A and B are shown apart, each in its own frame.
Chain A
Amino acid sequence: MVNNLKSNEIEHFVADYDTDNLIVDEFTIEKKVTGIFQESLAIVIRNPLFWVSSIIILILGSMALFPNLWTGTDPFFCPILDSSLSASAAHPMGTTLQGCDVYSRVINGARPSLAIGIMTTIIGTAVGVIIGTLAGFFGGILDSILSRLIDIFYAIPFILAAVAVLQLFESSESIWKVIFTLSVFAWVSPARLMRSQVLSVKQNEFITASVSLGASKLRNMFMHILPNAISPVISTATINIGAFIVAESTLSFLGLGLGSNSVSWGQDIANARDILVTTPSVLLWPSLFLAITTLSFIFLGDAIRDALNPKGRR
């Protein structure tokens, strides 16, 4: 595929997880010592999936940032007489029950949907990773307290908390309301996952070795345990982006989402329910964009994980 490889990089090709794992001859190649992040970067940019997914995400990003580049139609212009039209030159993806242009709504829905999906995932994963690592690493009372806190949050019904959070934000219909509501729950699953991984990883010989070599606890936690334990969290986090965008659809359905004066994929998916039988295209398009977004982030996540993960790298 690529001809001008430098000698110290060939190993990554050889050990790509799709090739036979029994090839161990990479150890004969002299390895240049580089920093962990440079090394990861080098792996990432050689992954074609990374490029494909990045380009799609860039396109989606341009829709989110500059919707006017893609459409000039007002997503809120909804003449009822144009209700449920099929695709035409004026409406390339047809219209909704209310007569709004589906194409314009899909483009304009990118910003809130991506913001909700990405921000919630970042907040949830970050908080979850920190709490899970602390609980798993230090154990004892801290673990008990944090684990039971996780239990409590698991027990709070989503709808109940959503209504309660809505009270805090009364009348302001910002996407932050939705992000905050979803984040209240988003950290719980990563936290438990992270804790289980840290519990498992910290038993490894190389951790014991580094402790006996006098490495500090914090250094151990951040430099050795965290990178070795984070892989499953990343593989679920990338799915989460899509799941959170759908979760906004549930919130909208319950009357707790963004509200009719903003556009989002989740809202349009929830609204599509009523005319699903006669006009399935109103469901198809926002769902398709959602699927493509999720897929891109899963690929991107896989590329990054493979690069960061010391186990998968050899």
Chain B
Amino acid sequence: MKKLIVILSSLVLSVLSVGALSSCGSGQESTSDSSDKIINVYGCEPQNKLVPGNTTETCGGNILGVLFDELVSYSSDGKAENDVAESITPSDGNKVYEIKIKSGLVFDNGEAVTSESFIKAWNYTAVAENAQGAQSFFAPIKGYKEVAEEGAKTKELSGLVKVSDLEFKIELNEASVTFPLRLGYSAFAPLPVSEFDAEGKLNEGFGDHPIGNGPYKFSQWNHDMDVKIVKSDTYKGNRIPKNGGIDFKVYTGGTEAAYADIQSGALDVLEAVPMTQTKTFQNDPQIQAVVSPSAVYQGLEIPDNLAHFGWDEEGQLRRAAISRAIDRQAIIDKVSDGLADHPVSFSPNSSKISGATDQIKGNEVLQFDAAKAKELWTKADAISKFENPKLDVYYNADGGGKPLLEAVANSIKANLDIESSAKSTPDFKTLLNKEASHTMDGAFRMGWQPDYPSVENYLAPLYSKEAAKNGSNYSGFSNDEFEELMVKGGASDNIDDANKVFVEAEEVLFKYLPCFPLYDPKDKGAAALGVKGMAFDWHGTPDYINIIKD
């Protein structure tokens, strides 16, 4: 027995000593001025090293968003404003853009931001052998195919031409009036020329210590723990921070733990309220609730590999019947706790998104009408009888869509008298695999986080033929009329004309319904008491630079 006690007590001692060691260095900084205060915000572990061209997910994206400045930046209402760019001048019918860079801008290592900083960074991202995640963002630029595909011989986009130290030209494959809107995405960030070797390769360690030109400077990254950034002292751009820095606290298990920390004051800013709290957070006296319309699209996609759901008349009728059978408003009220809007188009109907409108012919198919739904279904049955009618709806269990999809399935089942149940795959990759290989035996949830605030970005990447080959068109939708309209829209003289054409493209989608919107979500956030200035930017990221605390 004595020996046992000795063993046990030594175990306890060792545990205690580990604790004692690691609890060092957790002292609080004591500053009085709120402009020097570090803000603790919710974060998650970036999927890759912190390289702008390799990041398309939000965990890394949120951090890179404030470490780098691009040619344009977006105001909180979604307007693109010149940032690093002095001017962006279109020519050749919006096929060529001449870029002029502001002088005197520097990276955190003191290096000047020049046209080379952009050209080197963009070429690096586009070249196949560098295997960068944001590669496809450069597809509109001339010469992309030559660098991005198998057996590429060149390592430079022919569409990028240096004019002077502060000027360069971008030539596109096709005219695109919306192209300047895209340039605020973090993949288009410049990188310091000194970080590239002679071959045009980025230094191996760059992603561990990124050097940016943005409002904040990288400080420290403790994997799965936190990422610390501080106010840059050389920054001269549009977005001057009001706080002294940001500490992205990594929450490995989701937002529930983070919400508890907001309540207790251990965390200042949380960008997403967990499902367990959505009913109550607006009345929670221990936090400040922030709610605003979201740019995220939430739809239900029906792939064309399902029998009876093709693009012919029968398929169109059945798709319309399913859409009509879903009581969206009831689902919004009960499952989303009223924190969503009834959808009207293929993008959220938000003033922050260029071209978003509710004036689209055919969008009445989104209105719940059980009688009409049955009528459409019967009409489809007259064309070709659907024996044992069934439409299951899929979600990935690690993505939190269960309550929504169960409600959708119940709605379809009750209002159409067909079999429908919510089914799950254990994780996102299994779902994506089924989507991409067209082996899904049911409909599935489609969530789309836009890259730039234009309705075009909700259409081309999801329904074009190109996106079916190499992109996010999982329904198999392929329609010439839609393709022509998208090209025509891009070739318009100005954004307003383009948006009118995109509305016509949406009308085509309303006829075929490869996917239909379920609800327009809202961004739900929380801030600790004593925090000021918490608000969301156009695509649902907290507007970090304006947040301060006492």
Q: Do chains A and B touch in the complex (CB under 8 A)?
A: yes
Query: A interface vs B, CB < 8 Å?
Result: 78-81, 83-84, 97-99, 162-163, 166, 253-256, 259-261, 271, 273-278
B410 contacts partner chain A, Cβ-Cβ < 8 Å: yes
Interchain residue pairs A-B with the least CB separation, the first 3: A255-B397, A255-B424, A83-B334
B277 contacts partner chain A, Cβ-Cβ < 8 Å: yes
Chain B positions within 8 Å of A99 at CB level = 334, 410
A-B contact pairs, 5 of them (CB 8 A): A79-B410, A97-B334, A274-B403, A276-B276, A277-B276
The answer to whether A256 and B280 have CB atoms under 8 Å apart is no
A80 CA to B403 CA, complexed, in Å: 11
B275 contacts partner chain A, Cβ-Cβ < 8 Å: yes
B331 contacts partner chain A, Cβ-Cβ < 8 Å: yes
The answer to whether A80 and B410 have CB atoms under 8 Å apart is yes
Which of A81, A98, A273 makes the CB contact (< 8 A) with B406? A98
Chain B positions within 8 Å of A271 at CB level = 402-403
- What mask results when residues 273 to 284 of chain B are scored 1 for a CB within 8 Å of chain A, else 0? 001110110000
Give the B interface residue count (CB, 8 A). 28
A80 CA to B422 CA, complexed, in Å: 14
The answer to whether B407 and A98 have CB atoms under 8 Å apart is yes
Which of B402, B423, B426 makes the CB contact (< 8 A) with A166? B426
Give, as a whole number of angstroms, the nearest-CB distance from B431 to chain A: 10
Chain B interface mostly helix, strand, loop or mixed? helix
Q: With A83-B334, A97-B403, A254-B397 as known contacts, state yes or no: A78 contacts B279, CB within 8 Å.
A: no
The answer to whether A255 and B276 have CB atoms under 8 Å apart is no
Chain B positions within 8 Å of A254 at CB level = 397-398, 426
A276 CA to B335 CA, complexed, in Å: 14
A84 CA to B407 CA, complexed, in Å: 13
Give, as a whole number of angstroms, the nearest-CB distance from A218 to chain B: 36
User: Chain B CB within 10 Å — which of A81, A254, A260, A278 has the most?
Assistant: A260
* Known interface pairs A98-B406, A163-B426, A278-B280; 5 further A-B residue pairs with C-beta atoms within 8 A, sorted by A's residue number: A254-B397, A259-B421, A259-B423, A261-B421, A277-B280
Query: B interface vs A, CB < 8 Å?
Result: 275-277, 279-280, 327, 330-331, 334-335, 396-398, 402-403, 406-407, 409-411, 414, 421-427
A275 CA to B398 CA, complexed, in Å: 18
A81 CA to B277 CA, complexed, in Å: 20
Chain B positions within 8 Å of A277 at CB level = 276-277, 279-280
The answer to whether A260 and B334 have CB atoms under 8 Å apart is no
Q: With A81-B330, A275-B279, A276-B276 as known contacts, state yes or no: A260 contacts B409, CB within 8 Å.
A: yes
Give, as a whole number of angstroms, the nearest-CB distance from A121 to chain B: 25
The answer to whether A255 and B334 have CB atoms under 8 Å apart is no
Chain A positions within 8 Å of B411 at CB level = 80
The answer to whether B406 and A260 have CB atoms under 8 Å apart is yes
Chain A interface mostly helix, strand, loop or mixed? loop
Chain B positions within 8 Å of A256 at CB level = 397, 426
Q: With A97-B335, A254-B397, A261-B421 as known contacts, state yes or no: A80 contacts B426, CB within 8 Å.
A: no
Chain A positions within 8 Å of B427 at CB level = 255
Closest residue of A by beta carbon distance from B398: A255
Closest residue of A by beta carbon distance from B422: A260
Chain A positions within 8 Å of B277 at CB level = 277
User: Chain B CB within 10 Å — which of A78, A255, A273 has the most?
Assistant: A255
Give, as a whole number of angstroms, the nearest-CB distance from B216 to chain A: 36
Give, as a whole number of angstroms, the nearest-CB distance from A191 to chain B: 24
Chain A positions within 8 Å of B396 at CB level = 255
Give, as a whole number of angstroms, the nearest-CB distance from A190 to chain B: 24
Chain B positions within 8 Å of A78 at CB level = 406, 410
A277 CA to B282 CA, complexed, in Å: 13
Closest residue of A by beta carbon distance from B408: A80
Give, as a whole number of angstroms, the nearest-CB distance from B408 to chain A: 9
The answer to whether B330 and A98 have CB atoms under 8 Å apart is no
Closest residue of A by beta carbon distance from B426: A255
Which of A81, A255, A260, A278 makes the CB contact (< 8 A) with B279? A278
A79 CA to B411 CA, complexed, in Å: 8
The answer to whether B276 and A80 have CB atoms under 8 Å apart is no
The answer to whether A274 and B410 have CB atoms under 8 Å apart is no
The answer to whether A83 and B335 have CB atoms under 8 Å apart is yes
Chain A positions within 8 Å of B331 at CB level = 80
User: Chain B CB within 10 Å — which of A79, A80, A98 has the most?
Assistant: A80
The answer to whether A80 and B334 have CB atoms under 8 Å apart is yes
Chain B positions within 8 Å of A166 at CB level = 426
Chain A positions within 8 Å of B424 at CB level = 255, 259
Give, as a whole number of angstroms, the nearest-CB distance from B4 to chain A: 16
Chain A positions within 8 Å of B335 at CB level = 80, 83, 97
Q: With A255-B396, A274-B276, A277-B279 as known contacts, state yes or no: A260 contacts B426, CB within 8 Å.
A: no
Give, as a whole number of angstroms, the nearest-CB distance from B258 to chain A: 16
A163 CA to B430 CA, complexed, in Å: 11
The answer to whether A80 and B330 have CB atoms under 8 Å apart is yes
Chain A positions within 8 Å of B330 at CB level = 80-81
A255 CA to B331 CA, complexed, in Å: 22
Chain B positions within 8 Å of A273 at CB level = 275-276
Give, as a whole number of angstroms, the nearest-CB distance from A179 to chain B: 18
Chain A positions within 8 Å of B423 at CB level = 259-260
The answer to whether A255 and B425 have CB atoms under 8 Å apart is yes
User: Chain A CB within 10 Å — which of B277, B330, B410, B422 has the most?
Assistant: B410
Chain B positions within 8 Å of A276 at CB level = 276
A162 CA to B430 CA, complexed, in Å: 14
Chain B positions within 8 Å of A79 at CB level = 410, 414
